[in-house]
A = this chain, B = another copy of it.
């Protein structure tokens, strides 16, 4: 029940077309619909150009397509994460105007106002190693689709500290930093210690043996001695991108 419907019912009640009892019963069910109001900030997000999101893993291509079509009826934009190339090709034949970020495994629309500039440094996404880049790209593309400018810095793991320090100025200029690292995940602590900005750490499943699919990095990041570091799920570039976007737009 949207606000128009509510107004209509209220007027009917005022006019005596429905009884007080019926009005209360309407409101009871409406108490749920009303929660739609509570999510008005979601509407705000949409107005700001934030897309709704489809998590593609575990969904059939057909399911993804149906959801995408439903979203595109209401919106010019779309954010489909964990989308294989095969899924993109399936959708691309059936829905016009799509765009695919291969490394980030993200599908969006060409109409989505995606910032491509890597120059502006409000947000920095930094990886410890080359293999962490897909997760970092998921974060960066998410942020760009959400309207933010992002600087990507790759392969600056702590084993070569001078590589990290070379970008100190970039880190200090940023308003939020996403650190993407697998193996021992130490980069989050090192960067968290160098700057006094919110650092979102993304452990990745890069590694083998006792990395336990990213658990080593996850635990390291949760135990970071650099305060101000918060953590998202292993390989969750998307979640980090959303959290960073919310921080940038928190005012």
Chain A residues proximal to chain B, CB less than 8 Å: 3, 6-7, 10-11, 13-14, 20, 23-24, 27-39, 41-42, 44-45, 50, 53, 57-59, 63, 67, 128-131, 157-162, 165-166, 168-169, 172, 175-176, 183-186, 189-190, 192-198, 200, 203, 205-236, 238-240, 242-243, 245-247, 250-251
- In the complex, which of the residues B14, B32, B216 contacts A13, with contact meaning CB atoms closer than 8 Å? B14
Which of the residues B33, B186, B232 comes within 8 Å of A222, measured between beta carbons? B232
Contact A158 B186 (CB under 8 A): yes
Q: State how many angstroms separate the Cβ of A244 from the closest Cβ of chain B.
A: 9
The residue on B at minimum CB distance from A207 is B223
Bound complex: CA of A247 vs CA of B32, how far in Å? 27
A234 adjacent to B208 (CB under 8 Å): yes
Q: Which of B219, B246, B250 contacts A211 (CB 8 A)?
A: B219
> Known: A24-B3, A209-B236, A250-B198. Contact between A131 and B58, CB under 8 A?
yes
Which residues of chain B have C-beta atoms less than 8 A from A209's C-beta?
A: 203, 205, 213-214, 218, 222-223, 233-236
A-B contact pairs, 6 of them (CB 8 A): A10-B13, A31-B31, A186-B220, A211-B233, A228-B245, A230-B239
Q: How many whole Å from A239's CB to the nearest CB in chain B?
A: 5
Instruction: Give chain B residues whose Cβ lies under 8 Å from the Cβ of A234.
Output: 208-210, 222
Inside 8 A of A131's CB, which chain B residues have their CB? 57-59
Chain B residue nearest to A14 (CB atoms) is B14
Which B residues touch A230, using CB under 8 A?
200, 230-232, 239-240, 243
B7 touches A219 (CB 8 A): no
Contact of A231 among B157, B198, B205, B231 (CB under 8 A): B231
Query: Contacts A158-B189, A165-B35: A183 and B223 contacting too (C-beta < 8 A)?
Result: yes
Q: How far is the CA of A226 from the CA of B183 in the complex (A)?
A: 10
Q: Which residue of B lies closest to A48 (CB)?
A: B196
Check if A228 sits within 8 Å of B242, measured CB to CB: yes
Q: Across the interface, do B243 and A227 meet the contact criterion of CB distance under 8 Å?
A: yes
Known: A184-B223, A198-B250, A228-B239. 9 other contacts (CB 8 A): A6-B27, A10-B24, A27-B34, A42-B196, A159-B227, A184-B225, A216-B216, A219-B219, A230-B240
